[in-house]
Structure 1
Amino acid sequence: MSGGIDNGMTTVTLRVHRFTPRQERERDRARGGSPFAKKSSPFGGGAARRRPRGKQWVQEYTLPASPQDTVLDCLLAIKRGVDPTLAFRYSCGHGMCGSDAVAINGTPTLLCTATVKDWARRPGAAATADDEGFRRTGDAAEAGSPAPEAEGPEPDGAQDAVGADGSLGVIELSALPGFPVQRDLIADIDPMLDQIRKLKPYLQADGVLATTAEGKVDVFEYLQRPEQLARYEMLSNCIACGVCEGSCPVFAGGDAFIGPAALITASRFINDSRDTATEARLDAIDTADGIAACQSVRACSRECPRGIDVGEEIWQLIAQVKER
Structure 2
Amino acid sequence: MLPTDVTLPPLDDLLGTARVVTLPLVTRFRGIELREAMLLEGPNGWTEFSPFTDYGDDEASHWLAAAVDFGWAPTHPLLRESVRVNATLPAVAPGEVAHILDRFPGCRTVKIKVADFGQVLADDVARVAVARQYLGPEGRIRIDANAGWTADEAEKAIHALAGFDLEYVEQPCATVEDLAQVRQRVKYMGIPIAADESVRKAADPLAVARAGAADILVIKAQPLGGITAALAIIAEAGLPAVVSSALDTSVGISMGLHLAAAIPQLEFDCGLATASLLAMDVTDAPLLPVDGQLSVQRIIPSTALLASQAATADRTNWWLARLERCYELLR
Q: Fold conserved (TM > 0.5)? A: no
Query: What band does the TM-score fall into relative to the shorter chain?
Result: under 0.3
More helix by share: 2
More strand by share: 2
Name the TM-score, length of structure 1 as normaliser: 0.26
Task: Look at both structures and tell me which one has the larger radius of gyration over its CA atoms.
Answer: 1
Name the TM-score, length of structure 2 as normaliser: 0.25
